[in-house]
């Protein structure tokens, strides 16, 4: 499948400013993988305090961006969109490693592979890169739950 622009992304993620972390989907193979982008700008609200004079994207936000890409892949794989009655929650994070700081001006490339999706529970592996440099990686578990 070809990529997705922001208007379509908004149909698959319930997140909105300031917590929408996916700007574009470059590639997606439904049921298998997604490649998405997050453009990191100095306008991000967390840079005010993390850290003054030395802005660094918090590692947990990098992992959240991976999880949002995984959320899009989950909904596409299940053939549905968020309907206000269900949401995909984090269920676990394993093996998170942070290799290099992400700073304003970087473009974060999020590569997420789906390993399994059974009864609304999914397991993914994710990588975040800036250019060709790996900056973070983690295994993510997510669960679709009714709200």
Q: Which residues are marked as active site?
A: 50
| Cβ pair 108, 102 in contact under 8 A | yes
Burial of 121 (0-12, 13-18, 19+ CB in 10 A): middle
| Cβ pair 72, 81 in contact under 8 A | no
DSSP secondary structure letter of residue 122? E
- Look at the alpha carbons of 131, 137, 139, 145 in this order and tell me if their dihedral is positive or negative: negative
């Amino acid at each position: 499948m070809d990529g997705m622009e922001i208007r379509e992304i908004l149909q698959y993620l319930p997140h909105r400013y300031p917590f929408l972390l996916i700007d574009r989907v470059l590639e997606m193979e439904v049921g298998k993988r997604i490649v998405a982008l997050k453009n990191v700008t100095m306008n991000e609200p967390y840079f005010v305090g993390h850290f003054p004079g030395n802005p660094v994207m918090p590692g947990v936000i990098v992992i959240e961006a991976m999880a949002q890409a995984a959320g899009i892949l989950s909904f596409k794989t299940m053939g549905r969109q968020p309907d206000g009655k269900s949401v995909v929650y984090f269920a676990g994070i394993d093996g998170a490693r942070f290799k290099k700081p992400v700073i304003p001006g970087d473009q974060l490339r999020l590569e997420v592979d789906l390993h399994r999706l059974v009864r609304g529970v999914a397991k993914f592996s994710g990588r975040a890169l800036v250019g060709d440099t790996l900056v973070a990686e983690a295994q993510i578990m997510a669960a679709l739950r009714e709200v």
